[in-house]
Amino acid sequence: MKKPQLDLRPGKWKPKKGKKVKKHRRLRLPVLLSGCVLLLAAAGLITFFAVKNSRVYTRVEVEAGDLTLVPEDFSKNGAPVSFDPSFSPDSVDFHTPGTYSVKLKSGVFHYTASLTVKDTVPPSGRAVAGMLSRGERSDPSALVADVKDETRVTVSFETEPDTASCGVRDVTVLLTDLGGNVTKLPATLTVIPLYTVLVREAGGQLTPADFILPDCSVAELFPVGDDGSPAQVDLAALTESAGDHPLRFSADGLICDCVLRVKDTTPPVMVLRDVTSAVGAEVEAALFVESVQDAGSVSFTVSFTAPLDQTGTQTVTIRGVDDSGNAAVGKATLTLVPDEEPPAILGAENIVSYVGKAVSYLSGVWAEDALDPKPSLTVDSGAVDLQKEGVYPVTYVATDAAGNRSEKQITLTLLTETVSEADVMAKAKEIVSSIITPDMTPRDKVEAIYRWMKKNVAYRDGATIVDWQQAAYQGLTTHRGDCSVFQMTSRALLTAAGIENRLIDTVPYYNVHYWNLVNIGEGWYHFDATSFYDKQDFCYVDSATLAERSVHYRRSHTFDPARFSYVS
């Protein structure tokens, strides 16, 4: 029997029942499995690197400046990053352009990132006019001032100026930083036929012609004032006084700034006198000097030949030294006599002052003694507590050199300075009128008050002042206090400026902190002008910003949102 032909037309052929095309499936399955495994492995690797690269920037560029390298600079997507222990951040010099290797860690990954410090900002500076004597070599750095750049700057001339002849030169000074940025500054250099610094002995004769350089000739030379017009200068008088004397001349119409440097090599001439003093008293050298002549100032010392705690007469040696180091020596007689009379305390009266204010005990009070020209006068105010109201005893004690002592007691009455709200608001309005202008928006006003507080009120410890007027007045007048003073001072200023404001304080934990809330029509925002050591600003910020600080700074601004639910 002939086998039927296979009809391979679509739909016509079907495998016989029971027969399965296993061979192809057997072939496909391992291939598929292998492909899956490879795919998974590839995906795994790629994911690994994708994850690794999603955490850290491996190339970072930064402009040179006063910066501190922190690992967060390399963080991508907020991933936690730290320096590898083998890396020292100090190895990066932010003032020297270049590429630095930085080793980092993030999670289980390690990185070597490159940090490029670049300087693309040209240096800045200001040209200043220079002057030098003919023939001198000019230093370009003398023609610039206030040079600023984040990397080292070299100063040079574009073209070396000619100083062989006198006159005014226009020069160009180049400021070049390590980044290759160049700033050109046009400057003026005046070459003069005079000495810029002329040195002379004190007391000598001097004329303007003495300033002319040996190989120069000047037809017309006279002193001038700052405006360039002729001025009378007594050169002879100047030579009497040691030191540098700036002078200005006109030399054939060229204005020349010179310095007369007067040296003093002559010792002082002293006229001495004899002194009588109390036994044990301090005897100063100056007491023996009737008069002294010298080009400069003179200081005196005295040498005794016998102790000062015994009566008698002795010859003393007085040495006078001027400020140029020239010395002169003379002799005088010192007579010491006994002193049994105590000094008198004069002018002491009861004092009334206010809590927290410094007290002047010695104003108008002095001690006098017959023999001791300078009896000591001290004040015993040990019982006084300047922070509390009350009546306190204060004792003046005068003692002379012989040990004679006298006392006088007074009372110091401390009152609490009452400050009315009107006083506070008057002071606040005075300050507000100086910092706020009519064209400012409410937001500008808030900012201006904040900046004034930050700049002018200093944080200083002290007991919390409960009375708001007192706290505000202290902040407005003495410009210092703790956070309660900052809060109340801000309140006064904001109110004076017409800004709606309220008070807020923390839920106590380590501390209670006080600050303010302001509303300029956009809702309530926080206003905390306290000077924080990390210099953070909290001018018109929302609660989330303060919450961020609270997390890191011991709950500094933790408050109950339920009580302040209206705050943004």
Partner 1 sequence: MKRVKTILRVLCALLLFIGTFLLLQSLLTPKYVDDVVEGAFVAEYYREKKDHDVIFIGDCEVYENFSPAVLWEEYGVNSYIRGSAEQYIFQSYYLLEDTFYYEKPSVVVFNVQSLQFGEAQSEAYNRMTLEGMRWSPAKVAAIRASMTEDEHFIEYVFPLLRYHDRWSDLKQTDFQYLFHKKTVSHNGYYMRLDAKAVPENLPPVKPLGDYSFSDRAWSYLDRIVEACKREGVQLLLIKAPSVFPHWYDEWDEQVKAYAEKQGVRYINFLEHTEEIGLDFATDTYDAGQHMNLSGAEKCARWIGRILAEDYGVPDRRGEEALSAAWAGKLASYRAEIEEQKERYGLS
Partner 2 sequence: MKRFLTALLAVALLLGLAACAGEVKEIRKTAAEEKSAPAVTVGKEGSVDGYVFRAGDFSIAVDADMAPVLAALGEARSYYESVSCAFNGLDKLYTYDHFQVTSYPAPDGDRVQTVWLMDDTVATPEGLRVGAPASQVDALYGSSFEAVGAERIYSKGGMKLKVIVQEDKVTSITYQSVIADEND
Tell me which residues in 486-515 interact with partner 1 (CB under 8 A).
503-505, 507-512, 514
Q: Which two tokens stand for residue 204?
A: 């000598």
Q: How far apart are CA 451 and CA 532, in angstroms?
A: 14
Verify binding: residue 146, partner 2, rule CB under 8 A: no
Task: Tell me the closest approach of the beta carbon of residue 202 to partner 2, in angstroms.
Answer: 27
Nearer to partner 2, 275 or 386 (CB): 386
**Helix (H) / strand (E) containing 52:** helix 22-53
Task: Tell me the closest approach of the beta carbon of residue 566 to partner 1, in angstroms.
Answer: 12
Q: How far apart are CA 501 and CA 518, in angstroms?
A: 4
Task: Tell me the closest approach of the beta carbon of residue 422 to partner 2, in angstroms.
Answer: 18
- Which of partner 2, partner 1, none does residue 507 bind to, with CB < 5 to 8 Å depending on kind? partner 1
Binder to partner 1 among 133, 176, 250, 484 (CB under 8 A)? 484
Contacting residues for 554 by C-beta, under 8 A, at least 6 apart: 509, 510, 511
Task: Tell me the closest approach of the beta carbon of residue 452 to partner 2, in angstroms.
Answer: 9
Residues in 514-533 that interact with partner 2 by CB under 8 A: 514, 530-533
- Which of partner 2, partner 1, none does residue 551 bind to, with CB < 5 to 8 Å depending on kind? partner 1
Nearer to partner 2, 532 or 540 (CB): 532
Binder to partner 1 among 18, 466, 521, 533 (CB under 8 A)? 466
Nearer to partner 2, 283 or 412 (CB): 412
- Which of partner 1, partner 2, none does residue 466 bind to, with CB < 5 to 8 Å depending on kind? partner 1
Verify binding: residue 416, partner 1, rule CB under 8 A: no
Verify binding: residue 59, partner 2, rule CB under 8 A: yes
Residues in 527-556 that interact with partner 1 by CB under 8 A: 544, 547, 551
Task: Tell me the closest approach of the beta carbon of residue 490 to partner 1, in angstroms.
Answer: 13
Q: What's the DSSP call for residue 431?
A: H
- Which of partner 2, partner 1, none does residue 362 bind to, with CB < 5 to 8 Å depending on kind? partner 2
Q: How far is CA 453 from CA 487, 527, 530, in A?
A: 10, 11, 8
Verify binding: residue 50, partner 1, rule CB under 8 A: no
Verify binding: residue 287, partner 2, rule CB under 8 A: no
Residues in 99-128 that interact with partner 1 by CB under 8 A: 107-108
Verify binding: residue 554, partner 2, rule CB under 8 A: yes
Size of the site for partner 1 (CB under 8 A): 25
Q: How far apart are CA 431 and CA 452, in angstroms?
A: 9
Residues in 442-461 that interact with partner 2 by CB under 8 A: 451, 454-456, 458-461
DSSP labels for 435-491?
Answer: H--TT--HHHHHHHHHHHHHHH-EE---PPP-SHHHHHHHHHHT-EE-HHHHHHHHH
Binder to partner 2 among 61, 244, 389, 522 (CB under 8 A)? 61
Q: How far apart are CA 385 and CA 303, in angstroms?
A: 45
Q: What's the DSSP call for residue 127?
A: E
Contacting residues for 196 by C-beta, under 8 A, at least 6 apart: 131, 132, 133, 136, 257, 258, 259
Verify binding: residue 562, partner 1, rule CB under 8 A: yes
Verify binding: residue 536, partner 2, rule CB under 8 A: yes
At 171, which amino acid appears?
V
Q: Which stretch binds partner 2 (CB under 8 A): 49-57, 185-193, 238-246, 305-313?
A: 49-57
Burial per residue of 106-116, b for 16 or more beta-carbon CB atoms within 10 angstroms, e otherwise: beebebebebe
Pairs from 524-529 (Cβ < 8 Å, separation ≥ 24): 524/564, 524/566, 524/567, 524/568, 525/567, 525/568, 526/557, 526/567, 527/446, 527/450, 527/490, 527/494, 527/501, 528/486, 528/557, 529/449, 529/450, 529/453, 529/454, 529/457, 529/486, 529/489, 529/490
Verify binding: residue 510, partner 2, rule CB under 8 A: yes
Neighbouring CB atoms inside 10 A of 180's CB total 11
Binder to partner 2 among 9, 16, 66, 521 (CB under 8 A)? 66
Beta strands in 23-164 (DSSP E): 59-63, 82-83, 98-106, 109-118, 124-127, 130-133, 144-148, 153-157
Verify binding: residue 225, partner 1, rule CB under 8 A: no
Q: Which of 93, 84, 77 is CA-nearest to residue 112? A: 84
- Which of partner 2, partner 1, none does residue 485 bind to, with CB < 5 to 8 Å depending on kind? none
Torsion over CA of 185, 191, 197 and 200, rounded to 10 degrees? -170
Verify binding: residue 20, partner 2, rule CB under 8 A: no
Chain positions contacting partner 1, by CB under 8 A: 107-108, 463-464, 466, 484, 503-505, 507-512, 514, 544, 547, 551, 558, 560-563, 565
